[in-house]
Amino acid sequence: MLVTTTEKIPGKEYEIIGEVFGLTTQSKNVFKNIGANLKNIVGGEIKAYTEMLEESREAAINRLIENADKMGADAVVMMRFDSGSIGQDMQSVAAYGTAVRFI
């Protein structure tokens, strides 16, 4: 499944099926949270949370593709991410876009 952040796909004509999204909410375990809190004192990248966000984005895109496939889409255009915190230890990520079918 083609997923693109652009509105147009060069050389392709398509019809719009509708909006499509993939969601995930994740957290790290208590030991990684302790390490992150210690890192917060001295500063720098908190790799456990960077990894969590990368995993969340991948899961959100996979769910977006699954949902677009169920709709009979050939591609998703205008894909975007949105994210936010839920409490101190959880991160929610949404991948969303427009499902289209090639003509």
Domain count, the chain: 1
* Predicted confidence (pLDDT) at residue 23 exceeds the cutoff of 80: yes
Q: What average pLDDT does this structure show over 76-93?
A: 88
> What is this structure's pTM?
0.81
pLDDT tens readout for residues 30-74: 555 555 555 555 667 778 788 888 999 999 999 999 999 999 999
Distance of alpha carbon 100 from alpha carbon 78, whole angstroms: 10
Pick from 21, 5, 16: which is nearest to 64 by CA? Answer: 21
CATH code: domain of residue 34: 3.30.110.70
Distance of alpha carbon 31 from alpha carbon 23, whole angstroms: 25
| Beta-bridge partners for 45 | none
Question: What type of residue sits at position 37?
Answer: N
Distance of alpha carbon 64 from alpha carbon 47, whole angstroms: 26
Q: How confident is the model at residue 29 (pLDDT cuts 50, 70, 90)?
A: low
3-state helix, strand, coil in the chain (%, to 5): 35, 40, 25
The per-residue pLDDT for 21 is 97
Q: Which domain holds residue 95?
A: 2-102
Q: Answer with the residue of higher pLDDT: 84 or 75.
A: 75
